[in-house]
Chain A
Amino acid sequence: MTTTNFTDGATATDDGWFDDVDTHAYGYLTSVSGVDTITATGPASMSAYAAGQRFTFVSAGQNTGAVTLNITPSGGSALGAKAVTKNGTSALVAADIVSGAIVDVVYDGTRFQRP
């Protein structure tokens, strides 16, 4: 992320910074479907997964085993399914995700980890 110093009257020109902020602030996923192979819609501002991105969604159902998450930026195309893990790289087991529950994930560069 580029560091921009904002001062009174400055013209903000760093669109990369705004995209990152937008992705973070609007990390609440919508159109969530699937229980083990989850797909969801994310913010238009993201063009790729990047380590440190955090997303939140309401689960569509209780998982039955290992889980993947595939985010499609609004108006874009799917970025690809990535494993959802816990405690680092441990795969989820049945019922780690409860139907209707809030799920937080953080992308670590390779997978989505539950914090």
Chain B
Amino acid sequence: MSSTDFTDGVTLTDDAWFDDVNTYVYGYLTSISGADTIAAAGPASMAAYSAGQRFRFIAAGTNTGAVTLNITPSGATALGAKAVTRDGTTALIAGDITSGMIVEVVYDGTRFQIARSSPAGFLGTANSWTKAQRGTPVALTSAAASIAVDLSLANNFTHTLTENTTLAAPSNAVAGQSGVLVLTQHASAPKTLAYNAFWKFPSGVVPVLTATNSAVDTFSYYVESATRATCNMLNDVK
């Protein structure tokens, strides 16, 4: 660190100080390429990485695993790839950086750490939410006697019956997902619901919808694997 004392009338000769300030001010990297092995152009004023340097850039892609960043000062040669981490030395996991997002990093002398606010909220970190986290329900529709479900869209779903139909095998089923499907009966002519074999029930007993106008049945699920889910039904919730 430069610690020049500037006093009235001095001639400014400390080029290292100006280089440091220039590097700080122009820390917005350009010519970004790569999603996991990121290369970028930095300010001409930097000759080496130094603890405390801060850079920001727009991600060229969504990362698929651990990430490195290699900065080439404008008009010079690359300074070398360094790991990009979070919360200290923790490697990034897929999706921590998404395409097009601003990423801000601080060099700590060994690696680039992602600078971020508190509290946590990163994938791959045990997070203790101190406020409500909600899964916005997605409304499902029935066509040709089949209800299509895309489990990547939400955890919780709703459906108002319009015909006798079947809950189809979902797309994008990944073990660990759980949620609820709230089923509302037809307002004037109750319908039936069958289930694809993906949906499994206690003792294999398939639940029957409440056959009352506008009755509400709540169906809960937990995806065990790409091919099955544990399910249960709370009938006639009122």
Contact = CB atoms under 8 A, between A and B. Distances in A.
Asked if A and B are interacting partners, one says yes
Interface of A: 11-13, 15, 18-19, 21-22, 24-28, 43-45, 56, 58, 74-75, 86, 92-93, 95-102, 104, 114-115
Interface of B (DSSP majority class): loop
A100 B52 contact: no
6 contacts: A13-B8, A26-B2, A28-B51, A102-B114, A114-B118, A115-B117
A33 to B, nearest CB: 16
B1 A43 contact: yes
Interface in B1-21: 1-9, 11-12, 17, 20-21
A90 to B, nearest CB: 10
A25 B17 CA distance: 9
Contacts, number: 78
Task: Classify chain B: how many residues form its interface, as a range.
Answer: 20 to 34
A98 B24 contact: no
Nearest to A96: B118
Closest 8 CB pairs of A and B: A28-B52, A100-B88, A18-B6, A15-B6, A25-B24, A102-B113, A44-B3, A96-B118
B108 interface: yes
A74 B113 contact: no
Contacts of A43: 1, 3
B3 A56 contact: no
B117 A86 contact: yes
Contacts of A98: 87-88, 120
